Amino acid sequence: MDLKIVNGTVVTAAETRQAEVGIQGGRVVAVAPKIAEEAREAIDAAGSLVLPGCVEAHTHLDFPLAGTLSADDFENGTKVAALGGNTTLIDFATQFRGETLQQALENWFKKEGGKACIDFGFHMAFSEFTPGALGEVPKIVEAGLPSFKMYMAYRNVCMLDDGEIFQLMQAIRDAGGLVQVHAENGWVIDVLIRQHLAAGRRAPKYHALSRPAVLEAEATHRAIVLAELVGVPLYVVHMSGAAAVDHVARARERGLPVYGETCNQYLVLTDEKYDLPGFEGAKYVLSPPLRTAGDREALWRRLSDGTLQTVATDHCPFRYEGQKSLGRDDFSKIPNGLPGLEAKLSIVHSEGVRRGQITVNKLVEVLAEGPARLFGLYPEKGTIAVGSDADIVIFDPTVAWKLNAEHLHSPLDYSPYEGMEVTGKVRTVLLRGQYVVVDGRFVGRKGMGHFLKRRAGTAYA
């Protein structure tokens, strides 16, 4: 064997056991209490959890927004992801107005440009509806992108109306794909934004007040109704409010293929951040915005009971000075987004597993196996089993440390989690059996990542 991991506790979504893991040719070839065969090298994982690499299903790297670009490109963004225990990420190839879907995909391949340090894929995201897009959907699925995102918010930028969403859902259904929605009522939000600005209410907190939780809940319900009518699987991204998640729960109780994602920021931060003095609240401007402590508690419950299948990051980082500050006099011009790739695993472990809100197996399910299954990557990704890719994280569950901008690796001048104490830290990361992180240091290289051509029609069983 090339490599053997010994003395660790192997954790998958289904079980936790003391076992050794044997690796050959980039794949797992043995998982057993004791592997007799010798290996050229051994990793001693004593005292650590041996986890499958996290599958991060929601990022916006090198993304143009509000007159600027998100601060992480595909090289640094995937490096940051690896340091956080992610071995796969799926970014959004966004079709901007006037572009075909094929042009959008080509643009995102150019952005990646051989830079990725971990394996990657793309979802296709629409910014406008064109009749030609309906005919392109099957070709995009064939290219390895069986998931498509539609925005119900951001009027006059990328919002689609219900009729357009309905037609695209039909095309995606016929091609065997999965529909993703950003669920907020963009029509009402647009009115609220204009009313706040007209009244001179320009501070960051009015971003949140213009996007109340009831508008997320309404749009989520509307998306579920449309998906049920069409007969297509639906995945609601970055869910933040309890009322919206309740709609997903009711749909699932009726046997509908409806899935939900939340993000680490909604699991630990609350809307109290918008009351910080001066312009500080801009650091927490994202859509949907942060919600109440009650919403936060409900999200943990819905992760535990299986209503929500994944925790992603919606990683879209912007510097405070020079980027977030573009909206200093107008909250609607603050670039929306937060970083999260490097902190996610430690946050979910510390606040979820350590506090007894989820099990360690559920952690693996929502960070690795769940997204791998939903997005056509399982069992190569998302688990530790014979035949799977040797994407493995050695994670010390006892290390206590603080999250702050100085010690994280996105090129930012702040962290939304500044000073937060967490327990649990990534020690070592393997990508297809190759070292990417050793003792918390990045040792990978630009271009290590492979494009993942994902399968259609197999993820929803």
Mean pLDDT, contiguous 10-residue spans, the chain (461 residues): 98 98 98 97 98 98 94 98 98 96 98 98 97 96 97 96 98 97 98 98 98 98 98 98 98 97 98 97 98 98 97 98 97 97 98 98 98 96 98 98 92 96 98 98 98 78 43
d(CA 461, CA 459): 6
Residue 91 has what pLDDT? 98
Residue 461 has what pLDDT? 43
CATH class of 53-374: alpha beta
Residue 66 has what pLDDT? 87
Domain positions in the chain: 3-51+383-442, 53-374
Residue 460 has what pLDDT? 54
Of 37, 112, 122, 50, nearest to 78 by C-alpha is 112
**Which uninterrupted H or E stretch holds 217?**
helix 213-230
> What is this structure's pTM?
0.97
Write out the two tokens for 72. Answer: 């992480």
Single-letter amino acid, residue 345: L
| Count of Cβ atoms closer than 10 Å to residue 366 Cβ | 25
Residue 407 has what pLDDT? 86
Q: In a 3-state reduction of DSSP, which class is residue 279?
A: coil
Q: Which CATH number fits domain 3-51+383-442: 2.60.40.10, 1.10.3720.10, 2.30.40.10, 3.40.50.300?
A: 2.30.40.10
